[in-house]
A and B are shown apart, each in its own frame.
Chain A
Amino acid sequence: MAIEAYTEVTLPADRKVVAELRGVSKSFGDVLAASDLNLSIGEGEFLSFLGPSGCGKTTALRMLAGFEAPSEGQVLLDGDVVNDLDAHNRPVNMVFQQYALFPHMTVTQNIGYGLRQVRPRIPKPQIAERVSRALEVVRLGGFDDRKIWEMSGGQQQRVALARAIINEPKLLLLDEPMAALDRKLRKEMQIELQDLQRQLGITFVLVTHDQEEALSMSDRICIMRDGRIVQIGSPQELYDRPNSRYVADFVGTSNFFDGTLQGSPEGLSTVLLDNGMQVQGMAGDGLVDHQDVCISVRPEQMKLSHQGDGVEVKVHNRIFLGEHTEYLVSHQTLGDFLVLAPRQADLTEGAFAVGDTATVSWEATAALILDRN
């Protein structure tokens, strides 16, 4: 099945592996939270676990942090198996979902907490200096003696970030760090996080259910579903070459049409859609003749014209989005689907009004034949 066979995009050869999951599974009682995870994380990489809630992404992160021990398999840090190493002995730090800042400590005390645990002790002036440097890095200079509850959500998140990076961890784990921020702040933080990661060179591992967040920040994304890794790849790879309907649907938006594969799946193949139409598309890996498949076409790959070849549709709804116009069109047998027309097309071809008849066409190479799951 295509869903089990994911190909890991190999790291560049010169990149050192800092962390690795080898056949890692985790069950809580009867519930299998993570199953056979295999993954290498390269030094200085920004990797995201993306998936809906309950897909096992947080469990994966917690096993890297040392809060959960894997039921099976091995977790490696710097080439050493660390399955039995407690969280407080791992050179890994985490930014928690609700930040988990210590409410009885000031900003400075929170940030210096990790350094104060180090034995032999780090001299106080040195701790103070590193704390103030960390405050500068997250642009919170002057907030030293503030109480945590006097800080806004965005500021608290910076404190949490500073508290984690000050220890110069091998891995910085971020568990849905933006979930509590409003949209505008989230955008800002995304850019800042990326800058910070490049500046510090620390390996970031992010857990998120927000595809936009994962796409905009990550070097590689690890798509998870029901405790398994479905596909690993760069944002572009996942977007252009998803290995299943699930990934295509989770990364970006797509239109799907169910059908059956005709003939052997090599390059451009033919699919007999359920409504009797025959269409061509690029077959993904691991498909077999007569398999139930679906055709996936991204809305922006579809072209809406007043006449010409293509399927005839009726414009059902039109949403003007500035640089794009989103048309919801309906076809008699294919049902409703989305077409995204660039502003330029609207200007040259003329825009469509609700109720207009139009034809939709796409390049055969833009249509992907995917497993239905």
Chain B
Amino acid sequence: MTQRTRNWLLLAPAGTWFLVMLIVPLTVVFIFSFGERAPSGGVVLALTFEQYANLPARWAAFKNTMTLAPIGTLSALIIAYPLAYFLAVKANPRWKTILLVLVIVPFWTSILIRSYAWIFLLGGRGIPALLEWVGIEGLRLINTPFAVLVGIIYGYLPLMVFPIFVSLDKLDKRLLEASSDLGAKPWKTFLQVTLPLSIPGIATGCMLVFILLMGEYLIPALLGGGKVFFVGNALVDLFLQSRNWAYGSAVAVTLVVIMLITVTIYMRLISRLGASREDVSIM
């Protein structure tokens, strides 16, 4: 067996998977998006831009996704960074592993069950009841954008913590000493050395969380209660409820295009910040 055939054989499983599960479905969706709704549901192939012209009807879903995904990503970053910093730099090495495991522990339970827990916490008998008890009344949390945001941050935090942790953990601690030795106060050392050198981790974490958030379905469905819905929820509705496959496909294609555009802009931004492209491990 030559090196070449061996390479192809090794690539075959992943290649087949990509072809069957990604390229083919995307192509099908792309073709469907130019079709029309069949009378009994499903799709009739055609070449019309009618579905795309109809997109503004689902504006709310796009608006929610395009606001809550970036806000959620940013919030997760702000909360995750200090945690990752503590784990990587400050924590006693003896406890490091245990603390890291604690960050993943929530993943051992299904996100569905954990989100249900939040329904109770944010619902009438949860936090609002507690607040009422201390005198703050009439606060509604569940089925609001805030509830969705809480769910998002909670669910995606570990995905943000890990890449940042890795980049801070491999940061040469002598660089911090060198900075201090050269007269930089601790805060300046953080801004001039630690933060710039952890950009690859930040970039990877944000990318992971953002891309997954753009396609999020479960959290808005449970904590948004049909009032705060994402494009993902709209797609489920279009494909499974109203069975308008052509329109659903157009919405899906639009989402993919928006994602590609944002990610491209984002990558440009990151590489301008100084982190070379290879550093961002997800691309």
Q: A and B from one assembly? A: yes
Q: Determine if B197 is an interface residue (Cβ-Cβ < 8 Å).
A: yes
Number of CB contacts from chain A to chain B under 8 A: 63
List A contacts of B183 (CB < 8 A): 88-89, 114, 117-118, 167
List A contacts of B93 (CB < 8 A): none
> How far apart are the CA atoms of A98 and B173 in the complex, in Å?
12
List B contacts of A66 (CB < 8 A): 180-181
Q: Determine if A93 is an interface residue (Cβ-Cβ < 8 Å).
A: yes
Chain A: number of interface residues, binned into ranges? 20 to 34
Q: Determine if B271 is an interface residue (Cβ-Cβ < 8 Å).
A: no
> How far apart are the CA atoms of A113 and B179 in the complex, in Å?
8
Cβ-neighbour of B177 out of A96, A103, A113, A164 (below 8 A):
A96
Whose C-beta in chain A lies nearest to the C-beta of B274? A104
List A contacts of B189 (CB < 8 A): 88
- Interface pair A103/B197, CB less than 8 Å apart: yes
Whose C-beta in chain B lies nearest to the C-beta of A113? B182
Q: Determine if A87 is an interface residue (Cβ-Cβ < 8 Å).
A: yes
Q: How far is the CB of A77 from chain B (nearest CB, A)?
A: 14
Q: Given A88-B184, A114-B183, A167-B183: A100 and B274 within 8 A (CB)?
A: no
- Interface pair B185/A102, CB less than 8 Å apart: no
- Interface pair B180/A86, CB less than 8 Å apart: yes
Whose C-beta in chain B lies nearest to the C-beta of A118? B183
Interface size of B in residues (CB-CB distance below 8 Å): 20
What string of 1s and 0s marks CB contacts (under 8 Å) between A110-147 and chain B? 00011001100000000000000000000000000000
> How far apart are the CA atoms of A92 and B178 in the complex, in Å?
11
> How far apart are the CA atoms of A167 and B182 in the complex, in Å?
8
Q: How far is the CB of B185 from chain A (nearest CB, A)?
A: 6
Q: Determine if A67 is an interface residue (Cβ-Cβ < 8 Å).
A: yes
> How far apart are the CA atoms of A87 and B177 in the complex, in Å?
8
Q: How far is the CB of B199 from chain A (nearest CB, A)?
A: 8
- Interface pair A88/B274, CB less than 8 Å apart: no
Whose C-beta in chain B lies nearest to the C-beta of A88? B180
List A contacts of B181 (CB < 8 A): 65-67, 87-88, 92-94
Whose C-beta in chain A lies nearest to the C-beta of B173? A100
Q: Determine if A298 is an interface residue (Cβ-Cβ < 8 Å).
A: no
- Interface pair A93/B182, CB less than 8 Å apart: yes
B residues contacting A by CB (< 8 A) are: 172, 174-175, 177-186, 188-189, 192-193, 196-197, 274
Apart from A67-B180, A113-B192, what are 18 other A-B pairs with CB-CB below 8 Å? A66-B180, A88-B184, A88-B185, A89-B183, A94-B177, A94-B178, A96-B174, A96-B177, A96-B178, A102-B178, A103-B175, A104-B196, A113-B182, A114-B182, A117-B182, A117-B183, A117-B185, A163-B182
A residues contacting B by CB (< 8 A) are: 65-67, 86-89, 92-94, 96-98, 100-104, 113-114, 117-118, 163-164, 167
Interchain Cβ contacts under 8 Å between A and B, 7 examples: A65-B181, A88-B179, A89-B183, A113-B184, A113-B192, A117-B184, A117-B185
